[in-house]
Amino acid sequence: MIYGIIPARLESSRLHRKLLLDETGKPLIQHTWEAANLAEMLDEVIVATDSAEIADAVKPFVGIYAITGEHASGSERCAEAAMNLPDATVIINIQGDEPEINPDHIDAVVQRLIDTNADIVTLTAPLRPGDLDNPSVVKVRMRPGGQPDFCRTINPRYSWRHHIGIYGFRADALQRAVSLPQTDAEKEQRLEQLRWIEAGFRWDVLQVHELVTGGIDTPDDYRRFVERVRNG
């Protein structure tokens, strides 16, 4: 079985309780869940949360949700939820604040995991205006030899792309990934994927050619999202 898991934490530092914001008529987390459900290759989409408020908000529309403990990252939350899915072969970690995620991108990640021996698959897109100097936007480049390199503040000597926040894992690789101790590079950059690179996981990084809107991190991000929804 192939599961999409949306880790959903209530609090966020720059946009208070953003997954429950509902100026569009539905909470932000519902937009993400509905977009993920348009992916054809997911057998089930699950919201994983440690918040009773989020659980109450998603009950009317989510077929399955999971209550987890507190975690330092979305991947750890996905891993706890996945422990109760013994039939899982592939887990797709879909960020809860990505309400405009392209379901075709999710399908592409799943297909690449099926077609290759990669442990982890993720996606990149072209950088948007303003991304280069924005530390909130994670950038990625490919190193010689095929391993990715992620950062928030770039070295301009290299060619960088916008990292799309989807991770596809083989189910066993996810559990191994979250069991590893944090590395110095991860702590410095606040990027858990640096831990997995240092540990030698097999990566595959897909490129999409269109610009992406990215996640909802700030009040301005949410305002623009609401305007896009209202304008159709």
- Arithmetic mean of pLDDT, 103-107: 97
Tens digit of each residue's pLDDT (9 = 90 or more) over 167-224 = 999 999 999 999 999 999 898 888 999 999 999 999 999 999 988 887 898 899 999 9
pLDDT at 14 over 80: no
Name the residue among 56, 54, 37, 35 with its Cα closest to residue 45. 37
Q: Any residues with CB less than 8 A from the CB of 87 and at least 6 apart, and which?
A: 1
Above 80 in pLDDT, residue 13?
no
CATH number listed for the domain at residues 2-230: 3.90.550.10
Residues 6+ apart with CB under 8 A from 94: 4, 5, 6, 32, 36, 45, 101, 106, 166
What is the model's pTM?
0.93
**CB-side exposure of 192: number of CA atoms within 13 Å?**
15
Q: What is the pLDDT of residue 215?
A: 86
Residues facing 49 on adjacent strands: 8, 67
Task: Specify the 3-state DSSP secondary structure of 150.
Answer: strand
% of the chain beyond a pLDDT of 70? 100
Q: Give the pLDDT band of residue 34 (cuts 50, 70, 90).
A: very high
